[in-house]
Amino acid sequence: MFEELMPAFQSAYPQYRVRVIAVGSGEALRLAARGDADVVLSHSPRAEVEFMSSGRGEYRRRVMFNDFVVVGPENHTARSCGGADVIVVMTCIAELGVLFISRGDDSGTHARERDLWQASDVLPGGDWYLEAGQRMGAVLMMASEKDAYTLSDRGTYLSLSDRLQLRVASEGDPRLRNQYSVIVVRDASNADGARAFADWVVSITAQEIIGGFGVERLGRRLFSPNAEAPGK
């Protein structure tokens, strides 16, 4: 997505230089807390609220959303779990003890996974629960190789799905909604640039780019823009 957003931002604001550091939300907020980033785009609401309430952010704006999906082995067996209610699916996975691979890296997706286990009254652990400590793409490949379930953002899953022997086991539950927000870091070393980017990414121009992303390549949009009252 940044490949499309950044050139547009740069041509609108040639005076600012942007360096994109693509990391998980948890790491992104930690980088920002240490002053190593000026503006953050993240999808870990609870960590973001914490970040804001500790006074480290200047302001935070809603940008877009997509959703998480639970994916699992392609072949249906007696030990398959699936359905619209994600809590039922998570409980089923835990009760049958079918392999589940966790990101295990404190990323936004990992944070959501832990929330889902908590909502399902499951304390994950044991032989069926592997903590991979890797990026989403690597975890999806691992799930495919090992006939396992995992929680993924839809974008990463779709971009790899033709190479994965996985299918969607649960989608559409409101608990799977994945909201992205932009945060301007307080006392950013390039505060003007940070504000310019944050304000631009919620503008109509940027929101249209976001809504169109992936449509050409995958035939469907990957993100739904939902900035409040886009201006400019």
Partner 1 sequence: MDVFVDAVRQAFGLLVSGDPYLWQIIGRSLQVSGLAVFFGLLAGIPLGTWLGLARFPGRGAAVALVNTGLALPPVVVGLFVYLLLSRQGPLGGLNWLYTPSAMIAAQFVLAAPYVAAITLAAVQSVPPELRLQARALGASRWQALMLHLREARLSLMAAVAAGFGAVISEVGAVIMVGGNVHGETRVITTAIVLETRRGRFATAMALGLILLVIAFAANAFITRVQQAQPRRRRPLTS
CB of 153 to partner 1, least distance (A): 17
**Which is it for strands 177-185 and 100-102: parallel, antiparallel or unpaired?**
unpaired
Residues in 160-219 that interact with partner 1 by CB under 8 A: 165
CB of 145 to partner 1, least distance (A): 6
Which three-class secondary structure state does DSSP give residue 212? helix
- The residues facing 40 across adjacent strands are 183
Q: In the complex with partner 1, which residue's Cβ is closer, 105 or 171?
A: 105
- Exposure on the CB side of residue 218, measured as CA atoms within 13 A: 16
Out of 7, 35, 97, 133, which residue is the one contacting partner 1 (CB under 8 A)?
133
* Residue 62, token pair as written in the block: 């809603």
Gap between the Cα atoms of 23 and 100, Å rounded: 23
Tokens 């969607």 — which residue?
A: 168
Residues in 144-163 that interact with partner 1 by CB under 8 A: 144-146
- The answer to whether residue 221 forms part of the interface with partner 1 (CB under 8 A) is no
Q: Phi and psi of 217, rounded to 5°? A: -80, -40
Q: In the complex with partner 1, which residue's Cβ is closer, 49 or 138?
A: 138
Residues in 69-128 that interact with partner 1 by CB under 8 A: 104-106
Q: What angle do CA 207, 191, 209 make, to 5 degrees?
A: 10
CB of 116 to partner 1, least distance (A): 19
Gap between the Cα atoms of 16 and 209, Å rounded: 20
Q: In the complex with partner 1, which residue's Cβ is closer, 26 or 193?
A: 26
Interaction pattern, residues 3-42, with partner 1; x per rule: CB under 8 A: --------------------xx-xx--x---x--------
Give me Rg for the CA atoms of the chain: 18
| Residue ranges binding partner 1 (CB under 8 A) | 23-24, 26-27, 30, 34, 104-106, 130-134, 138, 142, 144-146, 165
